[in-house]
Amino acid sequence: MKILLIEYAVGTGDKGIIKEGRAMLKTLAHSFTALGHQVYYPAKEEERIPGIAVRGEFFRTVEKLSERCDAALVIAPERDDILYELTSIIEDGTVNLGSPPNAVKNCSDKLKTTNILLSNGIKAPEMIEKEEWRANEEWKKFVLKPRFGCGSEGVMVVSDPQTKKEGSTQTKKEGSILTRYIEGEEISASLIVGEDEVLPLTVNEQLISIDGGINYLGGIVPYRTERWNEIMSISVETARIMECRGYVGIDIILSDEPYVVDVNPRPTTSIVGIDKAINFELADLILRGKFGGLPPKVEIRGEHKFLLEEFD
């Protein structure tokens, strides 16, 4: 098959996120190539990645390539609204190996995602309104984050009294929301979601630094925990509720219960470790997720740590 892989930073030359994007693109390109597929990807500059780099104006190039390829997958954009736009383009031109545009649109809105999850019985950090501060003075930490954003970009941990000062103005803006801060372990769950079947892959430790902002540094695959079944059960249900497909990453704070803090309807950086940890080609599982025939489980081989600062 001719497979189109779309990674925003590589395609546009965005230097701010290009290392992470290149690592994900390289991982998936190697995996599809290992299965004998021909890989295409739009690129702003020459990249040492298996496949055929195609130059040109980014969105127009994606549109043209999607019409020439048998299937396509959007890996990671700079913003989730771009993920929606790119997914819509490939949905019109070829077979989309990821989540449908409507699911992407819902997941990109953190306020909408939280409300959907809470209304379906999934634990998530609740939104905080100004009036609630007075009734909950014991809450000393809050998370201020963009309503529409990607990953941890722009996410801040704030506390009293600064929280009240910032939050009272920021939460009035459509662009920011304020949630209660949950103490716990930063983890994620990765899974492949098909039309009628779901394959849990791994639970991953997220390496995070909190210094005003929340910064993602890398991860460890897998995260070994006795609560694996509990975490995966919540993650599978979350992916189904949000109507995701293909590879899905669920960001979780593991506290007294798992709290879902973000739903990523696309490949996440954890695939760099997952690719080394499982006994299947990741590309094979993504294709099976779309066309059927997912295995009942994967086997985990060893532990794999990756750091963003070490990416080429």
Total domains in the chain come to: 3
Q: Does one domain contain both 206 and 286? A: yes
pLDDT for 199 equals 98
Q: Does one domain contain both 114 and 215? A: yes
DSSP track, the chain: -EEEEEEHHHHHT-TTTHHHHHHHHHHHHHHHHHTT-EEEEE-SS----SSEEE-S-HHHHHHHHHHHSSEEEEEE-SSHHHHHHHHHHHHHHSEE-S--HHHHHHHHBHHHHHHHHHHTT---PPB--HHHHHH-TT--EEEEEESB-STTTT-EEEETTHHHHHHHHHTTSTTEEEEE---SEEEEEEEEE-SS-EEEEEEEEEEEEEESEEEEEEEEE----TTHHHHHHHHHHHHHHTT--EEEEEEEEESSSEEEEEEESS--TTHHHHHHHBSS-HHHHHHHHHHS---S---B-S-EEEEGGG--
Residues of the chain with pLDDT under 50: 161-173
Residue 137 belongs to what domain range? 130-180
pLDDT for 133 equals 54
Residue 204 lies in a domain: yes
Q: Does one domain contain both 230 and 111? A: yes
Q: Does one domain contain both 267 and 173? A: no
Q: Does one domain contain both 37 and 144? A: no
pLDDT for 292 equals 95
